[in-house]
Amino acid sequence: MLKVILVRHGKAELAPDGEKHLGAEGKIQVHSLARKLLKLNLSVDEIYQSGKPRALETCQILVEHLFTGHQILQSDDLGPNSDPSIWGVLLNSYEKDIMLVGHLPYMSELSAYLLGPGKYLEFNTSDAICLERDGSSTWNLIWKKGP
């Protein structure tokens, strides 16, 4: 069964949107989340982030704890206002376990796209969810973790 892990970046410092880096609190949040996820013995084949500094920095911390040496890929379709159907359609035919790190409202919209109508999930900073696709294109929420 295919798994996708959706992660919202850690709390960012105040700056113009494209220049926001993780703040001190955000780094603490992501390290805390990583320690919780470490207990789950996760594995992924690919890791994508939006290209914004706070998402990249979140990925770097997660890779450091969970997926040492794993390459971090970039997708411009993970931005705050990206169309969730792009990754939604892709994931419905994907054959690899994957982690996507992005922003609000996108992460909530993508989870709703995959889970179906009325399944909108809230993401606080540094929240992660795991969705699993059964043999068809039906997705189920397996867990939700926060810092």
**DSSP sequence for 6-63:** EEEPPPBPSS-GGG--B-HHHHHHHHHHHHHHHTTT---SEEEE-SSHHHHHHHHHHH
Percent over 70 (pLDDT), the chain: 99
Whether the CA torsion 53, 56, 58, 61 is positive or negative: it is negative
Give, in words, the CATH class of 2-145.
Answer: alpha beta
User: Where are the domains positioned within the chain?
Assistant: 2-145
Q: Is the pLDDT of residue 87 over 80?
A: yes
Stated as kind and residue range, the H or E segment containing 114 is helix 106-115
Per-residue pLDDT at 18: 73
Contact 7, 14 (CB under 8 A): no
**pLDDT above 90 for 16:** no
